[in-house]
Amino acid sequence: MFTLPPGVTFLERGWLSSNNIVLQDATQSVLIDSGYWTHAEQTHALLAHHLADRPLHTLINTHLHSDHCGGNALLQTAYPELEILIPPGHAAFVDNWDPKALSFTPTGQHCPQFRHTGVIQAGAKFTVNGTEWQCHAAPGHDPHALIIFNAQDGILISADALWENGFGAVFPEIEGFAAFDEVEATLQMIDELQPRCVLPGHGGIFEAVPAALARARSRLAQFRADPAKHASYLAKVLLKFKLLELQRAPYTAFYAWSEDLSYLRLAHQEYAGPVSYKDWIRGLCVAMEKSGACAMDGDFIYNAG
Ligand SMILES: [Zn+2]
């Protein structure tokens, strides 16, 4: 069992929020990712407990999906001196808050507005507790995503580029960008870093990195061979995310929410053939019910699993 070195803490969260990683020493504390907004108070409580009475100095977002930066606003209020560093790709949309360009509107998710105080580029390095961490560009799941590697201890903060079982849906593909190649290049880069231990954006810590990379590559090959399969995976991810948030909703209201989601509309247009949008969404929910990810009873849909 891999023991994290002193000053590195992995706070594993439920799937609605990304995990949080805390790096600290006697003089500073750094948080990587802040979870989803509905869990922001819990994130703050976990962090406050962990930091005791000390403030949080720096928050770095690996990427600006709502489940990774939804706690930014609350933490910015709780720690007024907090430095918030984001990948530069979407910085202009944070400056002139644009929930559409930041993917919150197209995914049907929410993120309270926050201010960033700086950007963090691929190649940037920072030292905590005498150990250097380096940011690497990890496009694919998100074109501007970063992963953060500590070569001394072989620890990789992989965000949604690599999980123990797979990786985050490849959103740019649905928008018409050929991002599967970027996923492949990112997996190759992780392979070359040879991490001994991965702290992923979702799910538990894992050490069997070659096996996880093999699973990720096999999954990528399936998506390449059948992009419609990837589109329905991405659609189910968005539906499941909303169910995790709502837990229970009248099906008509759930369907009405889905009607305005441009990612789902694009996936339907490209990959659903002649099936109507309404029937396609219903079919996805039925498939999710079969796999135990939700339940439908009368007029209601429930989260499950
Ligand atoms: Zn993500």
Specify the CATH number for the domain of residue 106: 3.60.15.10
Based on the fold, state whether residues 17 and 154 are members of the same structural domain.
yes
pLDDT recorded at residue 272: 93
Tell me, in angstroms, the distance from the centre of ligand 1 to residue 167's CA: 9
pLDDT band at 253 (very low <50, low <70, confident <90, very high): very high
Based on the fold, state whether residues 20 and 154 are members of the same structural domain.
yes
Based on the fold, state whether residues 203 and 265 are members of the same structural domain.
no
Please, what is the average pLDDT of the chain?
A: 96
CA atoms within 13 A on the CB side of 265: 11
The mean pLDDT value for 188-199 works out to: 98
Based on the fold, state whether residues 152 and 245 are members of the same structural domain.
no
Contacts of 136 (CB under 8 A, 6+ apart): 122, 123, 146, 147, 148, 149, 189, 193
Based on the fold, state whether residues 146 and 257 are members of the same structural domain.
no
The mean pLDDT value for 221-225 works out to: 97
pLDDT recorded at residue 74: 98
Tell me, in angstroms, the distance from the centre of ligand 1 to residue 251's CA: 26
pLDDT of 105 strictly over 90: yes
Tell me, in angstroms, the distance from the centre of ligand 1 to residue 297's CA: 31
User: How far apart are the C-alpha atoms of 236 and 303, rounded to whole Å?
Assistant: 12
Percent of the chain with pLDDT over 70: 100
pLDDT band at 2 (very low <50, low <70, confident <90, very high): confident
Tell me, in angstroms, the distance from the centre of ligand 1 to residue 68's CA: 7
pLDDT of 106 strictly over 80: yes
pLDDT tens digits, one per residue of 129-157: 999 999 999 999 999 999 999 999 999 99
Separation of first and last alpha carbons in the chain:
28
Give the structural domain span for 289. Answer: 240-303
**Which amino acid, one-letter code, is at 54?**
R
Of 207, 230, 262, the last residue of a domain is 207
Tell me, in angstroms, the distance from the centre of ligand 1 to residue 99's CA: 15
For residue 42, what are its two tokens? Answer: 């819990």
Tell me, in angstroms, the distance from the centre of ligand 1 to residue 215's CA: 19
Based on the fold, state whether residues 44 and 147 are members of the same structural domain.
yes
Contacts of 41 (CB under 8 A, 6+ apart): 74
Based on the fold, state whether residues 18 and 156 are members of the same structural domain.
yes
- Token pair 């995914």 is at which residue? 107
pLDDT recorded at residue 305: 87
pLDDT of 1 strictly over 80: no
Tell me, in angstroms, the distance from the centre of ligand 1 to residue 144's CA: 10
Based on the fold, state whether residues 202 and 272 are members of the same structural domain.
no
pLDDT band at 226 (very low <50, low <70, confident <90, very high): very high
